Amino acid sequence: MIMSKATSDGLARVQSESRIPASTWREWCNRLELDPLLAVEVWDEVCNPMRTASGQAPDLTFILQLRATRPDHYIDDFRDELPSIFLTAKLLDALEEDFAGGRGKAALLRLYRHVAGKGDDVVTRPFLVHVGCLLLLPHVLPGEFTFRRLVRSIADGKLLFIEDYEDGNHIDVFELHKNEKQQMHARAKDRACTSDKGELQTGSSYLTSLGRTNKPFAQTEAEIKNAFVRTDEGDPMVFPIF
């Protein structure tokens, strides 16, 4: 790669300030296909101020990988996104046992690339919504699901967030139904008399989705239900939850 004098001078200065050889910076840029001038900008606007404020060197390679995901993004907007990502990384380090050895940041980077790939100008809120949902899903889904496996499923297109409802403004309302033994016996008897071969619900309780709303706080149950997202016919819209 042939570099201009401005680029060479910039990397030389960054080398002096960061105490990391310019050759290492060039190697990082080559691997990430990142313009060296953007790397210099990241050092000046993000990494060096972080080091000055905390007295510790930030995770340069992680920040550069994030920057390489959206090189056309304004540096000010990119800098504003970083606190949520780093705070999330610390939270996951405390909650998830399988995040050692950089695996946690690798999962967050993969998730950031997925969310940023949708083309939104600011991804902080949808990124945090995705993280929150993926932290909860292992506790409600059957099987050996982990945060990292779910991130991989999303990135591979195997798990989808409902379009237009990933901004954190809506919640799903459920109703708990308990199965009495008499009810289960009656359903089993009816099933035996018909050709219906569908799965027989034998659990003690089930969650039924009532609807999706952005107004979960109200004085009455009716007010909450009236605020459900509705179809063109006026009925509550049914969403695939799990």
Q: What is the pTM of this model?
A: 0.61
pLDDT band, very low/low/confident/very high, at 51 (cuts 50, 70, 90): very high
- Return the half-sphere exposure (C-beta side, CA atoms, 13 A cut-off) of residue 35: 9
The percent of residues above 70 in pLDDT, for the chain, comes to: 70
**Residue 87: helix, strand or coil by DSSP?**
helix
Per-residue confidence (pLDDT) for residue 116, from 0 to 100: 81
207 part of a folded domain: yes
68 part of a folded domain: no
Alpha-carbon torsion 116, 117, 120, 125, what sign? negative
Alpha-carbon torsion 29, 56, 124, 129, what sign? positive
Q: Which residue has the higher pLDDT, 101 or 113?
A: 113
Same domain for 178 and 239? yes
47 part of a folded domain: yes
Condensed to tens digits (0 to 9), the pLDDT of residues 212-230 reads: 887 766 777 788 888 888 8
With the CA atoms of 103, 38, 81 and 136 taken in that order, what torsion angle do they form, in degrees rounded to the nearest 10?
-20
Same domain for 153 and 174? no
Encoding tokens for residue 78? Answer: 């990119």
Q: What is the DSSP letter of 46?
A: I
Same domain for 163 and 94? yes
**92-96, 97-101, 160-164: range with highest mean pLDDT:** 92-96
Same domain for 18 and 47? yes
pLDDT band, very low/low/confident/very high, at 200 (cuts 50, 70, 90): very low
Condensed to tens digits (0 to 9), the pLDDT of residues 3-43 reads: 678 888 899 999 999 999 999 999 999 999 999 999 999 99
Which helix (H) or strand (E) segment is 129 a member of?
helix 124-140
The interaxial angle of helices 75-95 and 60-69, nearest 10 deg, is 120
Number of domains within the chain:
3
Per-residue confidence (pLDDT) for residue 61, from 0 to 100: 92
- Mean pLDDT in the chain? 78
Encoding tokens for residue 22? Answer: 């310019």
138 part of a folded domain: yes
Domain range spanning residue 89?
A: 73-169
* Across 52-65, average pLDDT: 91
Same domain for 212 and 224? yes
pLDDT at position 76 over 80:
yes
Q: For the purposes of burial, counting CB atoms within 10 Å of the CB of 232, is it exposed (0-12), middle (13-18) or buried (19 or more)? A: exposed
